[in-house]
Amino acid sequence: MEVSGRIWQVLERRNMELGPEGEPTRALTHWRYTSDDEGIVWLLLDRAGESANSISEEVLDELHTVLDDLRNLSVRGLVIRSAKKSGFAAGADLRDFRGIADAGEVEKRMRRAHEIVDRLANLAMPTVAVIHGYCLGAGFELALACRHRIAVRGASFGFPEVLLGLHPGLGGTFRLTSLIDPVEAMTMMLTGRSAHTAKAKALGIVDDVVEERHVANAVRAAIDRKLRRGGGGLKAGVLALGPARRMAASRMRTEAEKSAPKKHYPAPYRLIDLWEEHGGDARAMQKAEIRSFSQLLVSQTAQNLIRVFFLREQLKGLGKGRSGISRVHVIGAGTMGGDIAAWCAARGLSVTLTDLDPKALALAVGRASAFYAKRLHSSLDKRDALDRLMPDFEGVGVEKADLVIEAVAEKAEVKRRVYEAVVPRMKPDAILATNTSSIPLEVLREGLPFPGRFLGLHFFNPVTRMELVEIVSHEGVADDTLMRARAFCGDISRLPLPVRSAPGFLVNRALTPYLVEAFTLFDEGIPKEEIDRAARDFGMPMGPIELADRIGLDICLEVARMLKERLSDPMPDIPPWLVQKVESGATGRKAGRGLYAYDEKGRPRKEEVKVSEGAEAPRADPEMTDRLILPMLNILVRLLRENIVEDPEQADAAMIFGTGFAPFRGGPLHYARSRGIDNIVSRLRELEKRHGARFAPDEGWEGLKSSDHVPVATLP
């Protein structure tokens, strides 16, 4: 075609221009064109030097250049898709916003970004986004600016900004609520949950779902206007009316408060306000979105949550490399062992699971089946995961396994007996790992013929939700073993945290004083509901009493005893009632009774604090909060001083991803810096005078105060 030939003469010059010395040079760094003899422009996003696409200011500036090129050409249609195998785009490039503290500057830059995306949305020609893999945040907003969206089966769509203390900022608030049922759109944005292919089609986010081999035909149908577009339906019309929107917004605020209190997480409420006030008026909502996003971005909450994002990326980076692990053998089919096996199988590994009790194996497979039914997105995925999870009554899987994970009772003598039985049958290059939560590896490695291939892989409960895995080293472990263990965590989408062997390692060592202090407060007569409320008011996802029940009072008792025996740390005496509860079988949620009683759905029965009409809910006593939180910080400083963990950022990451420590505070040590180390030390000394030596400030505080180590990826 003559027209298409002229198009490609222009666009090929963009793909490859000549530099000042006549050498070939890319005119576009992050985009490139591919040819089409039908007058359709295919524009591929391929971030230079990155493994995944993200939407940066430079990416948008180049898109602006592309749109200038297309303006003067006779083009039948524009197709945008990713050249990366991983997916369409993972969201905005947060690195663009480092160092910005002025909301006005952010607003100026966001207006420029909106102008570019609006140009794409207003093109006269048909525009099609072809999406495979993930399409998130600003990447999703770019796709929404196209007239059509075609998903390759397996794609997923979402707005995770709320997890960063933000809401969508590049048009998502008004484009998604205009495209689909506004309540469904708001739910996606308020929860951060993704919609996978089938749901995205049902909601109307995408116009078609195809296999890769049918993409070209689907694109032609879209360009030729033969592809029907979805819409918001009747509910969208009703919710364009102010009264209906106000009612829906009120319900949304009530739901949001259950999991994201406004005082800690303002973004969901700002989003609800946006939609309630401006829903149905795209231009007004766009202006309000830019202003609100800019103000949120420079807030302390968003800065800290963005910091947490980069902490996660830092740990993910430790999991890169080749593990050489394709077969895993798990010994112990209890809650931890069974769930470790189920998760590994879900992530594509062949897993054998063994236990002395056949009933335990049956229960573990049943739990795995229920998990797959809930979390995997196709019947084939569920079937394949169950096929990879093999009950192993004879324990023969150990002979072919690349990794053997022991997850039996938390007693050194029991674990050693397991090692004696399995070590002679392991492959010469196989790794032996223990899931111990507290026993030093120096104790467990005694008598092993290959200590270099033995280490700790400490998962956290519930395995299917907790991202952190402590990679526990000891003096005799080989570097290659540690590297393979970290890469294994990357293989199964978990965050590896290197720690040195010591009683309780890092997370349990720091968490135990928090739990024990809660027991001490309970002993002093403070109602458990008040203790838990003090922690939640600080921002913890649940209180320490409920957490102890969730962990299991028997495990809490075992860890507390072990730490008391092996460490010189001052610690309150273990309350007699804790021993009595464990001995009577009241071990917590798993038993249906512990410090709380539990209903048939495993929910704790709590006595609600009664508040008279017009009165404010009681606020937590600051001293109670400090008694709970500061011992945790004090132990982390000691663990840094003892080199159990490498740096403050890894310590912060461990407590956020291993315990759920208030994410909006950026981590416990980041919180200490923000509050002021002098203030923390002074407060510890006050508590020491009042309550005893367990609050004595560690000598490592001074080193942390004088450290010139800059917290990773913080926004000033």
- pLDDT digit string, tens, across residues 698-708: 999 988 876 54
Report pLDDT for 1. Answer: 39
Characterize the bridge pairing of strands 134-136 and 87-89. Answer: parallel
Q: How far apart are CA 454 and CA 441, in angstroms?
A: 9
Question: How many Cα neighbours within 13 Å face the side chain of 73?
Answer: 22
Locate tokens 């002021």: which residue?
676
DSSP class of 87? E
537-546 burial: b if 16+ Cβ within 10 Å, else e: bbbbeebbbb
Question: For position 233, what pLDDT does the model report?
Answer: 52
For residue 234, the domain's CATH number is 3.90.226.10
Q: How confident is the model at residue 627 (pLDDT cuts 50, 70, 90)?
A: very high
- 64-117 pLDDT, tens digit each: 999 998 887 888 999 999 999 999 999 999 888 877 889 999 999 999 999 999
**Residue 87 within a domain:** yes
The terminus-to-terminus CA distance of the chain in angstroms comes to 55
**Number of other CB atoms surrounding residue 526 within 10 Å:** 15
Q: What is the mean pLDDT of residues 172-196?
A: 95
**554-572 burial: b if 16+ Cβ within 10 Å, else e:** bbbbbbbebbbeeeebebb
* Segment (H or E) for 495: strand 495-500
Confidence of residue 19 (pLDDT cuts 50, 70, 90): very low
Residue 317 has pLDDT above 80, yes or no: yes
Token pair for 603 = 């929910």
In whole angstroms, what is the distance from residue 189 CA to residue 75 CA? 35
Give the HSE-up count for residue 234: Cα atoms under 13 Å, Cβ half-sphere: 0
Could you give the CA distance from residue 66 to residue 89 in angstroms, rounded to a whole number? 18
Helix (H) or strand (E) holding 329: strand 327-331
Q: Using CA atoms, how far apart are residues 682 and 690, in angstroms rounded to an integer?
A: 13
Of 311, 319, 178, the closest CA to residue 661 belongs to 311
Residue 25, domain member (yes or no): yes
**Domain extent at residue 195:** 2-298
Q: Tell me: the pLDDT tens digits for 647-699?
A: 999 999 999 999 999 999 999 999 999 999 999 999 999 999 999 999 999 99
- Is there a domain that residue 621 lies in? no
Query: Is 609:532 a contact under the CB 8 Å cutoff?
Result: no
pLDDT at 574: 87
Q: Which two tokens stand for residue 14?
A: 């963009």
Strand partners, 31: 45
Amino acid at 573: D
Residue 709 pLDDT greater than 50, yes or no: no
Instruction: Provide, rounded to the nearest whole percent, the portion of the chain with pLDDT above 70.
Output: 91
- Report yes or no: 46 and 59 within 8 Å, Cβ to Cβ: no
What distance in Å separates the CA atoms of residue 545 and residue 594, rounded to the nearest whole number? 10
Burial of 196 (0-12, 13-18, 19+ CB in 10 A): middle
Residue 619 has pLDDT above 60, yes or no: no
> Quick check: 558 pLDDT over 90?
no
Structure tokens at 203: 């909601």
pLDDT of residue 573: 84
Ramachandran area for residue 198 (φ above 0: left; ψ -120 to 50: alpha; else beta):
alpha
Does residue 388 belong to any structural domain of this protein?
A: no
pLDDT surpasses 80 at 714? no
CA separation, residue 372 to residues 284, 344, 426 (Å): 43, 12, 30
**Which three-class secondary structure string do you get for 169-210?**
CCCHHHHHHHHCCHHHHHHHHHHCCCEEHHHHHHHCCCCEEE
How far apart, in whole angstroms, are the C-alpha atoms of residue 122 and residue 147? 9
95 is a domain residue: yes
pLDDT at 236 over 90: no
Q: Residue 281: which residues within 8 A CB-CB, separation 6 or more?
A: none
Structural domain includes residue 400 = no
Q: What Cα–Cα distance (Å) separates residue 284 from each residue in 148, 175, 279, 371, 445?
A: 24, 12, 9, 43, 66
What gap in Å lies between CA 231 and CA 179, rounded to an integer? 5
Average pLDDT value for residue range 410-437: 95
Do you find a cis peptide bond into 451, omega within 30 degrees of 0?
Answer: no
HSE-up (13 A, CA, CB side) for residue 444:
31
Chain centre to alpha carbon of residue 384: 25
Beta carbons of 89 and 273 less than 8 angstroms apart: no
457, part of any domain: no
Distance, CA of 13 to CA of 93 (rounded, Å): 28
Q: Is pLDDT at 710 greater than 60 in this prediction?
A: no
Q: What is the dihedral of CA 351, 354, 359, 365, to 10 degrees?
A: -10
Following CA atoms 175, 181, 186, 188 in sequence, which dihedral angle do they give, to the nearest 10 degrees? Answer: -90
Q: What pLDDT sits at residue 621?
A: 83
pLDDT digits (tens, 9 = 90+) for 131-155: 999 999 999 999 999 999 999 999 9
Q: Is 41 helix (H, G, I), strand (E, B) or coil?
A: strand
Q: Is residue 70 situated within a structural domain? A: yes
Percentage with pLDDT > 90 across the chain: 78
Number of domains in the chain: 1
